Amino acid sequence: MSTKIGKNDTIYKPVNKSKYIGKTGYCVCRSSWEGIFCKWCDNNPSILEWVSEPLAIPYIDKTQKDYKGMPKRRRYYPDFLCKILNTSGDVDVWLVEIKPQKETVPPRKGKKKSKKTQVYEAKTYAVNQAKWKSAENYCNKRGWKFKILTERQLLR
């Protein structure tokens, strides 16, 4: 069940409350695709536990400088953490990021794109790559898995 709270955000209230391990008992979805994923987690019997924006992973943002002229240190909050019962009966921990497909591939230069749009897309892609590299390293150290889902996977 979801409730609208802002221009793009909704609150998803899990039906299977024991599976959602967030402190508030509900999930803030920043896109309709996140809402689809929440519903899937809530209803999928292989999902043992799940939570939204569960932790902060440090990363270096080379697109911006700090006051010393060094690349900025930032924090990345992956969209979801899920504990999933796999087919062999073991539990896998997954960090999941929900993103539009266009932000997961290098931007294309187009004749119709303004210079400002091209710079924005290039920066977005670079920042996402830095976040995801840090998330993969974080997961590898813990024996977890990292997955980026786009509308192509979510809307099948």
Catalytic residue among 42, 79, 97, 121: 79
Catalytic residue among 19, 34, 42, 121: 34
Question: Active-site residue 90, yes or no?
Answer: no
Choose among 47, 9, 11, 8: nearest CA to 27. 11
CA pair distance 156, 153, nearest whole angstrom: 6
- CB-neighbour burial class of residue 118 (10 A; exposed 0-12, middle 13-18, buried 19+): middle
Catalytic residue among 19, 42, 97, 99: 99
Question: Active-site residue 34, yes or no?
Answer: yes
Question: Active-site residue 79, yes or no?
Answer: yes
- So which residues are the catalytic ones? 34, 79, 99
